Chain A
């Protein structure tokens, strides 16, 4: 046990952290940041993705003590003044989630990708989100949502979208 201070979505949270506590469990269970989903616990599904010190990490593979003094951002931190971020609106508009369980991770990863690359191609999106799974298979709609808020704002032609599904 050690006292740690972690900035979560702009607010410094202090708590006692056990050395063997995962960042995932610390965020979800202790701080009740429930957008961080627990599913595989082994770095495969990516649904526990959070931003730690500006980089995306799978929080089931990070010790909570490693985040001591660090800066964590989750999807709860994207909205500003009660208004959803553009990528969040785009997910809603394009039906880029079905059951919604994986959506926070995808929104966060899409947001991070657009920060680095304001105009990503389909291949860029596939590469950047290779560590995320969506069991409902909303991949095509997610791409559409990302393209809709990219710099060029270009929507993918329907033909390409259908081929992407096949």
Chain B
């Protein structure tokens, strides 16, 4: 994948603007492999300019009312439609108060103009190693709702992402929404971008705040080809009080255990250093909240 190449045009395609979910499914049935679904188009157009994708048909879902909804139902879930922009997620009061990691990630995604166009579902479906949403959605136990000609199905986000730029989605299917269960969790997100448009390392953490045994999830993004969960750091957080020394230990363990890659953005050693820094920062914020 070579971002930064001089391609300036889009390949030829036919543009379809759908207004209902069944219309989208009908078009996908008709064109299948030849079609791509578009909402904000931010990631999709980048891929198309690079000729990594050359769909013959683009199905714009921005006008599908059902997909524009973001709804929180107490005791059930937060539901984010496929056409809901990152800006709308960041501005949502329920997200802000009950799903902090998601709010923090959405509010810091790219820049305001991109956030006003890009969608959370699009960010997830891009599944490039450096996007912010996958680790966040994973620590919040989110599920992906998919519709297609063979009906609807629902899978957890970690099963949905199969590899870098590889998602569990058939040619006749598309993602309709993300469902985040309503749990008593505290969560937070931290990333280091170093001025790049992409994070060099990111971390999402969630800790159950209910009684009994504490449950923690620690997942890193941007350090490897897909998000990396660190069970050892989770264990540290589950076994002891959330004190400064626990934070230090968890950050140390994560830095040691999480496998990092070296690429054009950063080398593995630097990423391991960043893991220690961002984990300390994120956990510190969680203790304060």
Q: Which residues of A contact B (CB under 8 A)?
A: 18-22, 25, 38, 41-44, 46, 49, 55-58, 61-63, 65-66, 127-128, 130-131
CB-based nearest B residue for A58: B113
Say whether, besides A61-B41, A61-B45, A63-B41, A46 and B10 are in contact (CB < 8 Å).
no
Q: Which residues of B contact A (CB under 8 A)?
A: 3-4, 7-15, 40-42, 45-46, 49, 58, 60, 110-114, 116-117, 197
- B41 and A62 form a contact (CB under 8 A): yes
CB distance from A109 to the nearest CB of B (A): 8
Q: What residues of B have a CB within 8 angstroms of the CB of A62 in the complex?
A: 41, 117
- A127 and B15 form a contact (CB under 8 A): no
- B117 and A128 form a contact (CB under 8 A): no
- A38 and B13 form a contact (CB under 8 A): no
Measured CA separation A43–B115 after assembly (Å): 11
Measured CA separation A21–B8 after assembly (Å): 11
- B13 and A20 form a contact (CB under 8 A): yes
- A131 and B9 form a contact (CB under 8 A): no
Q: Which of B4, B12, B42, B111 contacts A46 (CB 8 A)?
A: B111
List 8 additional contacts besides A61-B45, A61-B117; criterion CB under 8 Å: A19-B14, A20-B12, A21-B10, A43-B42, A61-B40, A61-B41, A128-B112, A131-B114
Q: Which of A41, A55, A58 contacts B114 (CB 8 A)?
A: A58
CB distance from B155 to the nearest CB of A (A): 29
Measured CA separation A122–B84 after assembly (Å): 29
CB distance from A3 to the nearest CB of B (A): 14
- B117 and A57 form a contact (CB under 8 A): yes
CB-based nearest B residue for A21: B10
Q: Which of B49, B110, B112, B197 contacts A41 (CB 8 A)?
A: B49
Q: What residues of B have a CB within 8 angstroms of the CB of A18 in the complex?
A: 12
Say whether, besides A42-B46, A61-B41, A63-B41, A22 and B113 are in contact (CB < 8 Å).
no
- A43 and B46 form a contact (CB under 8 A): yes
What are some 18 contacts across the A-B interface (CB < 8 A)? A18-B12, A19-B58, A20-B10, A21-B10, A42-B3, A43-B113, A43-B114, A44-B197, A56-B112, A57-B113, A58-B114, A61-B41, A61-B45, A61-B114, A62-B117, A63-B10, A131-B113, A131-B114
- A63 and B15 form a contact (CB under 8 A): yes
Q: What residues of B have a CB within 8 angstroms of the CB of A66 in the complex?
A: 60
Say whether, besides A19-B13, A20-B12, A42-B49, A55 and B111 are in contact (CB < 8 Å).
no
CB-based nearest A residue for B116: A55
CB distance from B249 to the nearest CB of A (A): 35
- B112 and A130 form a contact (CB under 8 A): yes
Say whether, besides A19-B58, A20-B10, A56 and B113 are in contact (CB < 8 Å).
yes
Say whether, besides A19-B15, A20-B13, A46-B111, A41 and B8 are in contact (CB < 8 Å).
yes
- A131 and B15 form a contact (CB under 8 A): no
CB distance from A159 to the nearest CB of B (A): 25
Q: What residues of B have a CB within 8 angstroms of the CB of A22 in the complex?
A: 9-10
Measured CA separation A89–B111 after assembly (Å): 27
Q: What residues of A have a CB within 8 angstroms of the CB of B3 in the complex?
A: 42
- B49 and A131 form a contact (CB under 8 A): no
- A56 and B114 form a contact (CB under 8 A): no
CB-based nearest B residue for A130: B111
CB-based nearest A residue for B42: A61
The 9 A-B residue pairs with the shortest CB-CB distance, nearest first, are A131-B111, A19-B15, A130-B111, A20-B10, A41-B8, A131-B113, A56-B113, A65-B15, A58-B113
